Amino acid sequence: MVDRNPEQMQLFLDKLLRHSLLSDEEQQAILDLPGFEQKVSAGVDFVGMGERVDHACLIVAGLAGRFGQTDTGDRQIVELHIPGDMADLHSVVVPDSAMPLQAIEDVALRKIPHSALYGLCDRFPAVARSFWRDGIIDLHMVAQTLVSLGRRRADARLACLICELFLRFARIGRGDERGFEFKVTQPQIADMLGLTPVHVNRTLRVLREDGLLILKDSRVEILDWDGLAELAEFDPAYLQLDRVDLHG
């Protein structure tokens, strides 16, 4: 069951290398990490609420999300994870998952035992730092989303989401210069933006009528990037975060 798959781990390594500097030996150690694959259908939770886990989940394909819930069952998606993201790398240091992880599209993932990640941190301090840094970048992204929900209206929030995903997908080679595949339902978008499905529908219509974007047949078509970025007040800085070499 447990095997190695350097090609899949390469996705994760690429992400780390975008913000951290790692030696050849460290990189090789990451590629050699053991794990096992798993497929999860859209809509299925693969880490439960409050569950104690002993492995972290690398997203290999598809789209996953972490979400919170209120007592009335309303959901709020807090983070979106695309291929290359280790969705709960932080579970290495906080193994009790505070919020569930769910497959939003059909997802392929590779589960990496904490023990292996932990061993890597012990052997290579620079790897430990890159993991820490990875969590901090997640924190910045959630913080950015929080500003959006607190201080922007529905249309700007939606524009912001699309801009962010467009860039993130582009970086991993999903999508083209015009748009990207986005196999989600409007109720799911509502849960990302803190809106109701009905209002998402209305807002999508407005953006379509304004010639900004079209969401159709599970694909986002961007008609006017500049207009979209302006509406979203989009500043990609928080996503790119080029490598920080201060201490390696």
- For DNA, give the closer residue by CB, 88 or 105: 105
- The DSSP output letter for 176 is -
**Of the ranges 92-100, 163-171, 202-210, 230-238, which one interacts with DNA (CB under 7 A)?**
202-210
Three-class SS of residue 65? strand
Helices (H), 36-153: 114-123, 125-151
**Can residue 196 be called a binding residue for DNA (CB under 7 A)?**
yes
- The residue to which tokens 């061993």 are assigned: 119
Residue 202 binds which entry of DNA, a copy of itself, none, CB below 5-8 Å type-dependent: DNA
CA 212 – CA 224 distance, rounded (Å): 5
Q: How far, in Å, CA of 186 to CA of 165, rounded? A: 16
Using CB under 8 A, count the residues that bind a copy of itself.
Answer: 53
Residue 128 binding partner per list a copy of itself, DNA, none, with a CB distance cut-off of 5 to 8 Å that depends on partner kind: a copy of itself
Paired residues of 220 in beta bridges: 180, 215
Alpha carbon distance 155, 207 (integer Å): 7
Interface ranges with a copy of itself (CB under 8 A): 66, 68-71, 74-76, 78-79, 90, 92-96, 98-99, 114, 118, 121-122, 125, 128-129, 131-133, 135-140, 142-147, 149-152, 193-194, 233, 237-238, 241, 244, 246-247
Interface ranges with DNA (CB under 7 A): 153-155, 185-187, 194-199, 201-205, 216
